[in-house]
Chain A
Amino acid sequence: MPIWNAGEECLDLEERAQLQLERLQSTLNRAYKNVPFYRNLLQEKGIEPARIETLTDLQYIPFATREHFSDNYPYGLFAVPLRDVVRIHTAQGTALKPTVSGYTKQDLLVWRELVARSLFAAGVSKNDILQIDVDPGLINWGQAYKDGAEAVESSVIPLTILTPEKQLMLLRDYKTSVLITSHSAATQMMHLVFRSNLNPNELALRTVVLVGEPPDAGIQDRLKHELHVKTWVHYGLSEVPGPALAFECEARQGLHVSEDHFLPEVVDPTTGGVVPEGVAGELVLTTLTTRAFPLVRFRTGDRVRLLPGACPCGRSLSRIEWLSSRTDEMKVIRGVKVHHQQIAYLLERTLGFLPNSYRFLIRSEELRDFLEVWLKVDEAIFSDEVKGMERLCLRLGKELTQELGVPVKIRLKEESSFQSLQLSHRIEDLRAKPFEP
């Protein structure tokens, strides 16, 4: 399989280490100089950027977390003046305030390159018709995938929010050959294909790029066997700064991290210490070239393992194995990250108060994942009119769906439903694993 940017992707390891050090140091200098948050973070520890003399010295710098994004809303973490920013993305954060990230012209070109190289590794080319179908919560990725796919000269059907049925219609009629979607949405699409009596052979689809969720071998096997497609997994960050920062190559031995632009570290989620190569832990990322929104030691919450040794594909970019569970309390629904605190905030905002008893469940109906919110009917919620209660459900459901970017159902439950329950107010995952071998 050809390599998009062999110069960078197959760079000699020693050269890469030098390049990474140079880029890391200039990133730290910029962040220290231009972002008060990072300056304070380093000054509190008594570290100045020049202290970081090797890549491993990075471990002396404290972590940045998702909470810091909300604390610095909206532009607090930008490292360039606004007039240099050409795009501003909003993503839901863990709190009420969203995460705002910015991109300079140069940043957008870098993303274009990263997505292009990932798609190219999956064999996507100018002969492909590429359809992007991700949930509204991942809408920022739609843009990046469009740019990257245009760079490899595919014909792109950009992200449009359509019903699954319409998406399938497009897939069939437009003769889509590459589909970019989440595991859950792909499963649902497959289900729809068979429900509508469509023979997979009638589809031109041959490549499915799975994004947003850790790889699930069961789902990938089924896609392969039932839709006769090849699947490729891409790893990205939904809040910042984008998709496809790690990608699968034809060797299928983990995901290559685009290390010329990101420095990966794997740490113990409890102690924060860097774990030895090959040991599972939380992925921590530092941007090396990002101008507008640099990240220094950002804790992703994703569990990974750095794979040792060289990849037979010839790329020298190191590889991660993306593991299914997370190291934080976020849950991934259809590729979109959701935090229980954020749902609670939204409930409180919409209702005007926080209900005493509630429960958040992830469920699946007809292979369609959604979030179900149980509310206990008490004096505060009870209305003597059935219509009033229905209206409340509808309003809440709509608000939450819109805010979270994933489907939400509201269920009003009697007190008895909550008895004998240990309410943690965390999100409970009740999705069956339908394809467990």
Chain B
Amino acid sequence: MLRVRNLKCYYGKIRAINGVSLSVRPRELIALIGANGAGKSTLLQAICGLISHWEGEIALEKASLRGLKPPAIVQRGISLVPEGRLLFAPMSVLDNLRLGAYVRYRRREHHRIAEDLESVMELFPVLRERAAQPAGTLSGGEQQMLAIGRALMARPRLLLLDEPSMGLAPFLVRLILDTLVQLREQGMTILLIEQNARAALQIADRGYVLENGQVVLDGVAGDLLADQDVKRAYLGKDYREFYEGRA
């Protein structure tokens, strides 16, 4: 579904992503893990068109996303749940959700938007209770649910999530990730970025480990979960000591 080849992204002269290739097949849940500064968020931003200066190929169902502005990419079927949620705090929960469908109103899909609103409320019942409340008054977990709900309102085929578990209590992390599993079962394709490598790999089909803007490991999630390297990558440790622990 999504195919990235040799992606290189720059911040001025600094190359944040240095030749990354990865793919997400339909109905897969892919975890992208790595330490701080590995380039995970940059990668998602490039896919969503939030960074325009990149080299390589990004294609959704064989159609290149090069040169597309974010709204056009949302229309192609990619939605992002950004890091830190980025909700519109003074606006109500309902309005935040409606905003997620902003590209669809122009296409006069009011009826279907109302249906989707209903199914998001079903997915996260707490949002129905808080529908009229300003988004800023929600708890962290509720805000994350709202952010995911808002992304779903665009009716994406591919959902991108940037650190959805950040700052959440473990049981809320579980809840959010369970929702992702549920979404995948309903046919959604998901690319998930997480620092919480263990939690992400537990629900993912496959995973990629990013280090210094490069993929250093890839494979079936279960295999990566058992991998010593992943633990090290996640902890951000280095290979300096080759014979670690063995004389």
> Number of residues in B with C-beta < 8 Å to the partner?
32
Question: Is there a chain A Cβ closer than 8 Å to B171's Cβ?
Answer: no
Complex contacts, B19 vs chain A, CB 8 Å? 25, 49-53
B221 to chain A, nearest CB (A): 13
- A70 at interface by CB-CB < 8 Å: no
In the bound complex, do residue B214 and residue A106 qualify as a contact, i.e. CB atoms below 8 Å apart? no
In the complex, which residue of chain A has the Cβ closest to the Cβ of B20?
A: A25
Complexed CA–CA distance, A49 and B214 (Å): 9
CB closest residue in chain A, given B8: A50
For A291, list chain B residues within 8 Å (CB).
229
Which residue of chain A has the shortest Cβ distance to B216 in the bound complex?
A29
Among A21, A75, A83, A109, the residue within 8 A (CB) of B5 is A21
B218–A83 CB distance below 8 A: no
Residues in A neighbouring B21, C-beta threshold 8 A: 18, 21-22, 25
Contacts of B241 in A (CB 8 A): 81
A53-B19, A80-B228 known; A289 vs B219 contact (CB < 8 Å) = yes
Tell me, rounded to whole Å, the shortest Cβ–Cβ distance linking B17 to chain A.
10
Cα(A21)–Cα(B3), bound, Å: 11
Q: How far is the CA of A83 from the CA of B246 in the complex (A)?
A: 7
The reply to whether the CB of A23 lies closer than 8 angstroms to some CB of chain B is: yes
| Contact B215 A25, beta carbon cutoff 8 Å | yes
Bound Cα distance from A29 to B211, whole angstroms: 10
Task: Judge if A34 is at the interface, Cβ distance under 8 Å.
Answer: yes
A49 to B211 CA separation, bound complex (whole angstroms): 13
Which of A18, A52, A75 counts the most B-chain CB atoms under 10 A from its CB? A18
Interface flags, B221-238, vs A, CB<8A=1, else 0: 001001111000000000
Contacts of B25 in A (CB 8 A): 15
A340 at the interface (CB under 8 A from B): no
CA distance A25 to B228 in the complex (A): 20
The reply to whether B243 and A82 form a contact with Cβ atoms under 8 Å apart is yes
Q: In the bound complex, what is the Cα–Cα distance between A377 and B108 (angstroms)?
A: 100
Q: Are A30 and B216 in contact (CB under 8 A)?
A: yes
Within 8 Å by CB of A83, from B18, B22, B208, B245, lies B245
> Which residues of chain A come closer than 8 Å to B214, judged between CB atoms?
25-26, 29, 49-50
Tell whether A84 is near chain B: CB-to-CB under 8 Å.
yes
In the bound complex, residues from chain B placing their C-beta under 8 Å from that of A425 are none
Contact B18 A50 (CB under 8 A): yes
CA distance A78 to B171 in the complex (A): 40
Q: Assuming A22-B21, A22-B23, is B229 touching A80 (CB within 8 A)?
A: yes
Bound complex: CA A302 to CA B246 (Å):
37
A349 close to chain B: CB less than 8 A: no
Give min CB distance, A275 to chain B, whole Å: 26
Residues B242 and A81 in contact, CB atoms below 8 Å apart: yes
The answer for the CA separation of A15 and B6 in the assembled complex, in Å, is 16
CA distance A291 to B3 in the complex (A): 24
- B residues in contact (CB < 8 Å) with A: 3, 5-6, 8, 18-23, 25, 56, 208, 211, 214-219, 223, 226-229, 239, 241-246
Known: A53-B19, A83-B245. 20 other contacts (CB 8 A): A15-B23, A18-B5, A22-B21, A22-B208, A25-B20, A25-B214, A26-B216, A26-B217, A26-B218, A30-B217, A49-B214, A50-B6, A53-B6, A81-B228, A81-B241, A81-B242, A82-B243, A82-B244, A104-B228, A105-B226
23 contacts between A and B (CB under 8 A): A15-B23, A21-B5, A22-B21, A29-B215, A29-B216, A30-B216, A30-B217, A33-B239, A49-B19, A50-B8, A50-B18, A51-B19, A75-B242, A80-B229, A81-B244, A83-B244, A83-B245, A84-B228, A105-B226, A106-B226, A109-B223, A289-B219, A291-B229
